[in-house]
Chain A
Amino acid sequence: MIMEKKSPQEELRIGVYVCHCGANIASKVDVESTRDFAAKLPHVTVARDYKFACSDPGQELIQKDIKELGLNRVVVASCSPQLHEKTFRNACADVGLSPFYVQMANIREHVSWVTEDPELATRKAKSLVAAAVRRLAFAAPLETKRVPVHPDVLIVGGGIAGIHASLILANAGRKVFLVEREPTIGGHMAQFDKTFPTMDCAACILTPKMSDVKNHPNIMMWTYSEVEEVAGFTGNFKVTVRRKARYIKEELCVGCNDCVEACVLKKDRVQVPDEFNVGLSRRKAVYMPFPQSTPACVVIDPEQCLQLMKGKCAQTCVEACERAAIDFDQSDEIVEIDVGAIIIATGYKPFEARRIAEYGYGKFANVYTTLEIERLVNASGPTGGELRLRDGTTPKVAGVIHCVGSRDRRYNPYCSNVCCMGALKMAHLIKERTGAEVFNFYVDMRTAFKGYEEFYDQILSEGVQFVRGRVAEVTDWAMTDEEKGKLVIRVEDTLVGVARRIPVDMVVLAIGLEPQADAGEIQRKFNISCSNEGFFLERHPKLGPVSTFTDGIFLAGACQGPKDIPETVAQAGAAAAEALCLVDKGFVEIEPNTAWIDEEVCSGCKTCIPLCPFKAISRDEEKRIAVINEALCKGCGTCVAACPSGAAQQNLFTDEQIYEEIEGVLSYA
């Protein structure tokens, strides 16, 4: 039903401030005319336009008017409330006006930036100002609630981003829960051999940090665990974590690998590709992902283990384990934790090279991905660091193809950011290990950070050949004797302007970075947003790079977009600082947009009760009315829209305020 309009209690004295935002608004919207229009609106005491309302003098102008003209409501027609509502609310609160007596009219994002015609833009701006003025008549001086913040932090993902963020927070004295779904922390970085541009060994710089995490008294490192559910809100999240059964008592296992030796499954007969070596080797049912796994603890694969699958096995592993760490009776454990802030650092998924059929990955034995080469050249890799072709011979000519799955409308239109440097590193490593002649096929060379261009120069001076052009095809179809038994890379050399056929022994595909396959699931679990590609969306592309639209949840690393190690570490540090900022403050202010029930009007029909997703509404059996628990209400207003009698109302978004807004925009549409 349409509510009776209540007359406001006090005489309204409204100030309207139309911001030019430099030329951002003023170049499209006639700000003077909008100001004059506003000045004539009912209850408007003063209307002004100003170059930058958000600047200190702009805010002071408003504060001065509040004091001198006795304004009791303020309309700021400027940018989106998402950007500066807080600024103007604070400015008004500073001079004693309730921050909820401020109303924004979004005439930049919704008007000047999106409208071509200046006249129509001005009209639109005027109607939004009219709506804001009318809406204010029904504003209430609400109180911001302060809720204490839980001091602990959850970090999801134990790659370099999660590791770095954990250490910063733990060193600051915060308790950190680091949840990693794999049996070890380390992420993709642990799989790399060298890191560009300095070529330091990835393990040498990563593994000390991994042990620091393991040994830090403030870090609860939960590997082989996944977040099941997240409830609550900023400062007070309740997180359910599933700690998957390892079938090993983690506290007893020392990682001696005696059980692995003893496992009856013959290594060469077991068809399980070793995940850590990207399928280049095989592993048994009980295994340690890699020698420096952290925790140094084996894990039993329940889909491989005869005992767990069939219930019958000689259990040679149990016999071999001197510390009696094997426990076949383990089951998944569900743990609930309370945290104040969450950092999501779930990383990326390498592009699946099989998707580009013309490059022959999976069809030709000697077509590799960059990740495979990382493992092959690594001393602890499947070949002990020997870079050999599948038949055991050393490649004499190798071709590295850039932009595989990136900058390609058929797959991913974006640049994966790391592959140019990764491909240069490949060229260097292949040359260094085998002395082979190396061709790099690039589209554009992107080496834009500190020391990167120098690295490119270095690779150029090492004699690597660069061919500019997107590779059309990798084929084994030989046109000449020279091409027989080789892989032929067909490419248009766009610098020379000829189509070339280059026979090579080995092809390396510089695969791009994609969002994790289950990024959508994580997005829903944590209630954050994704960009079109599926990477998590930051709050602001420039000024909120690690925040999300959900307060208290921050992003670090490649889950937010493709990035290399230095950038990931920098972002992890930023996310840690933001999380620390939140938990150290000790409290959060909650927007008082909760719903409430007008006891006199409520008929106790119970319509609202099942609609509330947060179970915030119950029925007072004595009074026979609905009661909203303000602490549980998150302020969606679903119950308000459903209430047949208009008893449910939402602060900041009452029916009256919205009806006024409707009439306001239509009064000058």
Chain B
Amino acid sequence: MPDDVSLPIAEDFQPRIIAFFCNWCTYTASDLAGTSRMTYAPNTRVIRVMCSGRIDPQFVLAALRKGADGVLLGGCHPGDCHYQAGNYKCLRRFRLLKRLLTQLGIEEERVRLEWIAASEGDRVQKVTNEMVEQIRKLGPLRLEKIPTHPNGEAAPAPAEPMATATEGAVS
């Protein structure tokens, strides 16, 4: 089991959450939350993709492996995809991914998929806050052993929360 639930969760635990948002709906909604000055928890880091269909489940695995405690995915509502059906593809992969995570012993609540339309800045706020609370309850993702690279080479260790800037230089 990669996660030892018996370990206490530090009180000052700041969850590290990576969010993959689609350009047309959720990223725009996230901008709208900003324009509307809706404050929310500072724990998410948004990575923009053109469509939620671009979110390779391996991005999620990589994020968790590199030290994220949770991953949030955001796309357009069903039927509203800018590219017709990318969000459905995302949903399909997401379901499969959740099963995989469970098998790996990672709580499936650490990943969340949400449909957030461009006008729903308030949902970005709500979902982010909920997600942060959720991860706070689960505690840090403690991967006991780092999975090795498919080529046999060891993957880099997850970065420390306050890693210095010079670490992890482009190789």
Docked-complex contact A669 and B16, CB < 8 angstroms: yes
Q: How many residues of A contact B (CB 8 A)?
A: 73
B169 surroundings in chain A (CB, below 8 A): 42
Q: Which of B34, B118, B170 contacts A660 (CB 8 A)?
A: B170
Contact residues, A584-613 vs B (CB, 8 A): 593, 611, 613
Interface membership of B58, Cβ < 8 A: yes
Interface membership of A123, Cβ < 8 A: yes
Q: How many residues of B contact A (CB 8 A)?
A: 65
Expressed in whole angstroms, the Cα–Cα distance for A8 and B169 within the complex equals: 12
Contact residues, B89-115 vs A (CB, 8 A): 89, 93
Docked-complex contact A666 and B66, CB < 8 angstroms: yes
Interface membership of B150, Cβ < 8 A: yes
Expressed in whole angstroms, the Cα–Cα distance for A611 and B92 within the complex equals: 12
Expressed in whole angstroms, the Cα–Cα distance for A482 and B159 within the complex equals: 83
Q: Which of A124, A531, A634 contacts B119 (CB 8 A)?
A: A531
Expressed in whole angstroms, the Cα–Cα distance for A247 and B47 within the complex equals: 55
B47 surroundings in chain A (CB, below 8 A): 131, 658, 661-662, 665
Interface centre among A121, A128, A529 (most CB of B within 10 A): A529
Give the interface SS of chain B, mostly helix, strand, loop or mixed.
Answer: loop
B170 surroundings in chain A (CB, below 8 A): 5, 7-8, 12, 42-43, 134, 137, 660
Q: Which of A128, A131, A549, A637 contacts B28 (CB 8 A)?
A: A549
Expressed in whole angstroms, the Cα–Cα distance for A528 and B46 within the complex equals: 23
Interface membership of B48, Cβ < 8 A: yes
Docked-complex contact A636 and B171, CB < 8 angstroms: no
Docked-complex contact A666 and B82, CB < 8 angstroms: no
Expressed in whole angstroms, the Cα–Cα distance for A655 and B66 within the complex equals: 15
Docked-complex contact A634 and B83, CB < 8 angstroms: yes
Docked-complex contact B165 and A659, CB < 8 angstroms: no
Interface membership of A68, Cβ < 8 A: no
Interface membership of A550, Cβ < 8 A: yes
Contact residues, A401-446 vs B (CB, 8 A): none
A202-210, A362-370, A638-646: which lies at the B interface?
A638-646
Expressed in whole angstroms, the Cα–Cα distance for A523 and B79 within the complex equals: 10
Q: With contacts A641-B54, A641-B89, A662-B66 known, is A117 near B42, CB below 8 A?
A: yes
Contact residues, B66-88 vs A (CB, 8 A): 66-68, 79-80, 82-86
Docked-complex contact A636 and B82, CB < 8 angstroms: yes
B151 surroundings in chain A (CB, below 8 A): 4
For the complex formed, measure the closest distance between the CB of B133 and the CB atoms of chain A, giving whole angstroms. 16
For the complex formed, measure the closest distance between the CB of A337 and the CB atoms of chain B, giving whole angstroms. 21
Docked-complex contact A636 and B120, CB < 8 angstroms: no
Interface membership of A275, Cβ < 8 A: no
Q: With contacts A109-B35, A636-B82, A642-B89 known, is A658 near B150, CB below 8 A?
A: no
Interface membership of A2, Cβ < 8 A: yes
Q: Considering only CB atoms, which chain A residue lies closest to B150 in the complex?
A: A1
Q: Considering only CB atoms, which chain B residue lies closest to A652 in the complex?
A: B50
Q: With contacts A637-B49, A666-B68 known, is A41 near B165, CB below 8 A?
A: yes
Interface membership of A653, Cβ < 8 A: yes
Q: With contacts A114-B33, A655-B56 known, is A667 near B168, CB below 8 A?
A: yes
Interface membership of A80, Cβ < 8 A: yes
Interface membership of B145, Cβ < 8 A: no
Q: Considering only CB atoms, which chain A residue lies closest to B122 in the complex?
A: A532
Expressed in whole angstroms, the Cα–Cα distance for A144 and B161 within the complex equals: 39
Interface membership of B18, Cβ < 8 A: yes
A109 surroundings in chain B (CB, below 8 A): 30-31, 33-35
Interface membership of A307, Cβ < 8 A: no
A1 surroundings in chain B (CB, below 8 A): 58, 150
Expressed in whole angstroms, the Cα–Cα distance for A42 and B163 within the complex equals: 14
Docked-complex contact A635 and B50, CB < 8 angstroms: yes
Interface membership of A106, Cβ < 8 A: yes
B27 surroundings in chain A (CB, below 8 A): 82
Top 6 closest pairs, chain A to chain B, by CB: A109-B34, A637-B54, A638-B53, A636-B83, A636-B51, A665-B45
Q: Can you report 14 residue pairs joining A to B where beta carbons are below 8 Å apart?
A: A7-B171, A127-B45, A131-B45, A529-B117, A532-B120, A611-B53, A613-B84, A636-B54, A653-B49, A662-B18, A663-B66, A666-B67, A669-B16, A669-B161
